[in-house]
A and B are shown apart, each in its own frame.
Chain A
Amino acid sequence: MRLISEGFSQALHLILGLDPDLREAAWRTLQISGAATIVSLFLGAPAGVALALSRFPGRTLLVALINTGMGLPPVVAGLFVMILLWRSGPLGELALLYTPAAMVLAQSLIALPMVTGLSLSAVQSLPARLRVQIRALGATRLQLAWLMAREAQLPLLAALMAGFGAVVSEVGASLMVGGNLRHSTRVLTTAIVLEASKGKFASAIALGLVLLALAFAINLILTRLQQRGRT
């Protein structure tokens, strides 16, 4: 019990004192997970909307694959990216392994199926005849996709939140392809693992609190955006 209360008070000191290591890890987390979320938004949302509005052979199989991908364990994503970026691997020459870019790549791989799958179901949950109505108003296929996405903006933002939540909290992939290098690839989750393994629970708790606060702040912003769009 003393461990916890002492940990918390030390954690508060670290946070209020704006500990440089803590600040750096928080900032890096925001950058890497933010970038991964934006990548998955720009690839996943259009893919999900397009998939919801189209019919082609093999579509069911693709949707099933995406749904499976939504539960992709981060370590598996990390392993896949690691192999890809390994010195003798297909993208080895880029020398991206153990850089923030590798972490963005791995986290995008985790968030992409989630954003795609949730965007797909967001558009599919719109009224069945909305597609017919919008096309009959004179919309081209592209205009249709845009208008359907606009109608589904609330669940689309929820998809975005789910994607960010998944990558900001994962540790397996970040550790594998980032390596938890100080001043380079150390993010909040990997730092927590390190600090806890060294028995420095106060720092671990401080990092955990900052991680929670960060996730909360981002979700608060997105939620406000979402609820403002509710008319």
Chain B
Amino acid sequence: MRTEAPRAPGVERHAPEVGRHAPAAAFEVRGLRVRRGPVFTLEISRLSVAAGETLAVLGLNGAGKSTLLEVLALLLRPDEGEVRVLGEATRSGPDAQRLRRRLGLALQDPLLLAGTVLDNVALPLRLRAVPRNEGRRRALAGLARFDVAHLAGRSSRGLSGGEARRVSLARALVTEPDLLLLDEPFSALDPPTRDALLRDFQKAIPPGTAVVLVTHDRLEALGLGHQVAVLQGGRVLQWGPAQEVFRSPLDQAVAALVGLETILSGPVQSSDDGVSRILVGPGVVIEAATEAVVGDRVTLCIHPEEVHIERPGPGTRTSARNVFPALVQSVTPHGGGWRIALDCAFPLVVLVTRRSTADLDLRPGERVTASFKASAVHVFPARSPAGDGDGGQSIRRV
């Protein structure tokens, strides 16, 4: 568990790299404080992301996410603290400008400028005095990566929401930035548009690019982030590998934000009729109501509110696709109900109301049956491992 507090060097994430070149942090902030009026809107003692990694900054509106992004984009000088971007301490003026040209930024509002789609994507290159023809060629290639090359000649004003986001992301990536900053670029889209965009986005990110994704969507944070930092009231409540943060929230505040505790991963065994079967342990298969590519390794999570617990008995029939015998491990109060940790060949966390616990009279050590529908299982494609793709990342994360 990594928290905001400084930790011993060389542990966890960096351990596998020991002995090789140390990965350069794409950004690192220390003792960061940003003041707006009399109050600090941002107070972060330490936060960083390594090259090739994605850091998801998860928080509600007003948590300070956008302020953090402005600091990282070197457009807001913090009142206190150190900001190192791409290994360099940032000073004002030409230094910041030079470093800023190695960043990319895409926001929820695509903010395309007047002109054609191609003009927009070529603009960052034009600002860097890249020759016009080369700029057009690279902009077209960038559009193609997001499957919107056919829009090149269209006016930027007549695009659909999904198309505009694609163009905005292509524009952010056209300069091949070392650090990509994203502020909710996938929110407020209808689910199919969003899913298609997420797939293309993951393919379009070059392996060495560090990404900071600011989002309020926990599934997006889990699906895209190698690391997750939970931000509230301008402070980082928890920071660590994504699955760790989601599985073991440090406190109630983080738990309320992440809301998911059962996260598993494994290969897809079969996928037909809109149901995929995923092998999450030896002989343990979970069915999910989604299509997936057979053989792909996926991550899945189960919402704790959507799991039912019953005492095992004869004649229990259920429409749920996933039914597991389980052993109660712990029962702890949680909000208005109880949080029950089960062991059913994999750890499963369940939230139930106070009343149903009383009815069931659950105690640690008892045997129960846990069930959940295939539609209660959320599946993400597993991220490409960060760094050199040696698989070390997934070992570290799981």
Q: Which residues of A contact B (CB under 8 A)?
A: 127, 129-130, 132-140, 143, 147, 150-151, 153, 229, 231
Contact = CB atoms under 8 A, between A and B. Distances in A.
B105 A132 contact: yes
A127 B75 CA distance: 16
B155 interface: yes
A88 to B, nearest CB: 48
Given A133-B107, A231-B155, A140 B113 contact: no
26 contacts: A127-B109, A127-B111, A129-B107, A130-B111, A132-B70, A132-B75, A132-B107, A133-B107, A133-B111, A135-B73, A135-B75, A135-B100, A136-B73, A136-B181, A137-B105, A137-B127, A137-B171, A138-B101, A138-B124, A138-B127, A138-B128, A140-B97, A140-B127, A147-B113, A150-B113, A231-B157
Interface of B: 70, 73, 75, 97, 100-101, 103-105, 107, 109, 111, 113-115, 123-124, 127-128, 155-157, 171, 175, 181
Contacts, number: 52
The 5 closest A-B pairs by CB, nearest first: A136-B105, A138-B101, A133-B111, A137-B124, A138-B127
Nearest to B101: A138
B114 A153 contact: yes
Nearest to B128: A138
A76 B115 CA distance: 43
B224 to A, nearest CB: 20
Contacts of B128: 138
A152 to B, nearest CB: 10
Contacts of B114: 150-151, 153, 229, 231
Nearest to A152: B114
A148 to B, nearest CB: 10
B202 to A, nearest CB: 22
Contact of B127 (A132, A143, A151, A231): A143
A124 B381 CA distance: 42
Given A136-B104, A136-B105, A150-B113, 13 more contacts: A127-B109, A127-B111, A132-B70, A132-B73, A133-B111, A136-B100, A137-B123, A137-B124, A137-B171, A140-B127, A150-B114, A151-B113, A229-B114
A138 B113 contact: no
A21 B115 CA distance: 46
Contacts of B70: 132
